[in-house]
Amino acid sequence: MYIVMLGAPGSGKGTTAKILAKKTNLPHISTGDIFREQIKNQTELGKLADSYISKGELVPDEVTINMVKVRLSEPDTKEGAILDGFPRTKAQAEALDKIMQEQGKQIDIVPELIVPDQIIIDRILNRATCSNKECGAIYNTKYKPPKVEGICDVCGSKLVTRTDDNEEAIKNRLEVYRANVQSLLDYYKEKKVLLSITPKDPTSESSSEQVADEICHFKEVC
């Protein structure tokens, strides 16, 4: 089962992807997370990626596509994966199809999360993430605060704010998202795998759980 999550930054697609990964026992592949890990380890790829990410721009297609290709050749992705943040451009979508075809796989479902801008901006500006990579829990200091300020409820690690979660970069990320998403929506609609979801109450704590359930029920995948 291969699921491709679509949604603006801050739409909740990362949180939903994590829940789905748990429910299906499939790996969660977030290109943003992989880039951030590379940046932390100061690899060549990380340095290159950082020069784009810090401005809210996309990392070039060939770099990103190559990275995903390598990841999708790893054995834990054999039965499927939850892709989060990839593809982001039509060229990436076409490249993904090619990778999948070569490996005799196919994309089963592409959920698209529709969330109003105001909520998105508010969410990103109040976002805090667990610094422990194994955990990666996401909090909202306004709607879903941790029990102790700055500390992860789940594992006790420090919470951090992403460097690209500032107003300037967010605006740019939203613009980049809009400029690319329509071609992806058209692409997957034609393949009859698109599932558009408008979360009923996107600010509620259980919103991502509800969205994940909806995706699960759609194709009885979990």
88 is catalytic: yes
What is the C-alpha separation between 172 and 71, in angstroms, rounded? 27
- The site partner of 58 among ligand ADP, Zn ion, none (C-beta below 5 to 8 Å per kind) is ligand ADP
* Inter-CA distances, 130 with 38, 80, 91, 103, 127, Å: 17, 26, 32, 34, 10
> Can you tell me which of 32, 111, 136, 202 binds ligand ADP, judged by CB under 6 A?
32
> Binding of ligand ADP at residue 52 (CB under 6 A)?
yes
Count the alpha carbons within 13 Å of 197 in the hemisphere toward its beta carbon.
31
What is the C-alpha separation between 65 and 61, in angstroms, rounded? 6
- The site partner of 105 among Zn ion, ligand ADP, none (C-beta below 5 to 8 Å per kind) is none
Tell which positions 122-181 bind ligand ADP, by CB under 6 A: 164, 173
Region binding ligand ADP by CB under 6 A among candidate stretches 15-23, 54-62, 132-140, 149-157: 54-62
Q: For residues 167 and 125, is the Cβ–Cβ distance under 8 A? A: yes
- Residue at 202: amino acid letter: P
Quick count: other Cβ atoms within 10 Å of Cβ 64?
Answer: 24
123 is catalytic: no
| Catalytic hit among 88, 105, 123, 144 | 88
- The site partner of 155 among ligand ADP, Zn ion, none (C-beta below 5 to 8 Å per kind) is Zn ion
Residue ranges that bind ligand ADP, judged by CB under 6 A: 9-10, 31-32, 35, 52-53, 56-59, 64, 85-86, 88, 92, 164, 173
